[in-house]
Chain A
């Protein structure tokens, strides 16, 4: 069975809440909240995220400023950058990756600290909701 993967291209800028029920690759800019509760979020090498992220798995090759919660795994690849707090049962950080923040590795089977909201399923698989009060990009941080 073919997996659906949605791409947000380099020129796309989204501000607000992004919900989806398919795997998603972001090469553009997103500010706000990203929720892919049962799917994989990939931040491509050109992707810049300033958002709270909730997903099954998060692969980072670009830049993320904000807290990341994954129910399975967070993978920060070479040249990937995360500044924020990570909650995930498994974390892989490559040599050459940048990370600043805290890491809380929940045990397998434990519920994520914050449940993702029900997803909206538009035809394209991804919805950009116009900004409600935009949540803080980065929560509690270690230092400046």
Chain B
């Protein structure tokens, strides 16, 4: 059963999977890669999804009720914020090593959002190693990467899935630690060297969306 079939079959049952009402303050942008990512997930009967971002109720309802995913909400942003607040960001890489208790090759999809942008290279490498480990062969990982340094106040983004994965709404909230650097495409590819790039998009808002697949 394909993505559209699954959505239409479940849509009528799902009252909770309503998307948040539009808020003018939350920029809306068209995502090219999310739909493809969801297509990878829904080719599985009971897909297992890891969401590295903060909990968003409507996303959970959408992934869980309409797509039938089992979701692990990890919220690494909250963990990074805690480490920054306690002044021990240098220990975050060790924390990442122990964070993912899932079996190797047990996860169908990982929503990385733009978390890598907030890490130094060493920690980013340790995270990518863990994510690559838990992803099953042919599993998918979606990452966003900025093309510009963050100026002014530091912030994280909550990405809210809208219009069934066609659009995303980015809701900013304050952060102690800003983006660390702008990664070049070749650095990103090297970071996830156990995966292959399936699709890569540069959006109008200068955000890069990269969809990785784990080779079979």
Question: A interface vs B, CB < 8 Å?
Answer: 73, 76, 89-95, 97-105, 107-108, 140-144
Q: Are A92 and B95 in contact (CB under 8 A)?
A: no
Q: Does B73 contact A (CB under 8 A)?
A: yes
- A93 vs B55: C-alpha distance in the bound complex, in angstroms? 8
Q: Are B73 and A100 in contact (CB under 8 A)?
A: yes
Q: Are A142 and B99 in contact (CB under 8 A)?
A: yes
B window 54-93: CB within 8 A of A: 55-57, 60-61, 64-65, 68, 70-75, 78-79
- A86 vs B55: C-alpha distance in the bound complex, in angstroms? 13
- A80 vs B6: C-alpha distance in the bound complex, in angstroms? 31
Q: Assess A93 versus B60: contact at CB under 8 Å? Given A101-B73, A102-B71, A142-B72.
A: yes
Which residue of the partner chain, among A92, A95, A140, contacts B16 with CB atoms under 8 Å?
A92
Which residue of the partner chain, among B13, B64, B101, contacts A141 with CB atoms under 8 Å?
B101
Which residue of the partner chain, among A97, A100, A107, contacts B57 with CB atoms under 8 Å?
A97
Q: Are B72 and A102 in contact (CB under 8 A)?
A: yes
Chain A residues with CB under 8 Å of B155's CB are none
- A100 vs B102: C-alpha distance in the bound complex, in angstroms? 15
Q: Assess A104 versus B74: contact at CB under 8 Å? Given A90-B16, A92-B61.
A: no
Which residue of the partner chain, among B61, B71, B74, contacts A143 with CB atoms under 8 Å?
B74
Q: Are B70 and A103 in contact (CB under 8 A)?
A: yes
B75 to chain A, nearest CB (A): 6
B173 to chain A, nearest CB (A): 10
- A140 vs B55: C-alpha distance in the bound complex, in angstroms? 19
Chain B residues with CB under 8 Å of A95's CB are 20, 57
Q: Are B64 and A103 in contact (CB under 8 A)?
A: yes
Chain A residues with CB under 8 Å of B75's CB are 100
Chain A residues with CB under 8 Å of B151's CB are none
In the complex, how many residues of chain B place their beta carbon closer than 8 angstroms to a beta carbon of chain A?
A: 26
- A143 vs B127: C-alpha distance in the bound complex, in angstroms? 13
- A77 vs B13: C-alpha distance in the bound complex, in angstroms? 22
Q: Does B98 contact A (CB under 8 A)?
A: yes
Q: Assess A99 versus B55: contact at CB under 8 Å? Given A91-B61, A142-B101.
A: yes
B127 to chain A, nearest CB (A): 12
Which residue of the partner chain, among A73, A108, A140, contacts B101 with CB atoms under 8 Å?
A140
11 pairs, CB–CB < 8 Å, chain A vs chain B: A91-B57, A91-B61, A92-B16, A95-B20, A98-B55, A99-B55, A100-B55, A101-B73, A142-B73, A142-B102, A143-B98
- A102 vs B15: C-alpha distance in the bound complex, in angstroms? 21
- A90 vs B58: C-alpha distance in the bound complex, in angstroms? 11
Q: Are B55 and A143 in contact (CB under 8 A)?
A: no
1/0 per residue, CB under 8 A from A, across B100-118: the answer is 1110000000000000000
A61 to chain B, nearest CB (A): 15
Chain A residues with CB under 8 Å of B65's CB are 89-90, 105
B110 to chain A, nearest CB (A): 13
Q: Are B57 and A102 in contact (CB under 8 A)?
A: no
Most chain A beta-carbon contacts within 10 A, residue among B13, B15, B72, B78: B72
Q: Are A103 and B57 in contact (CB under 8 A)?
A: no
- Considering the complex, give the chain A residue whose CB is closest to the CB of B10: A107
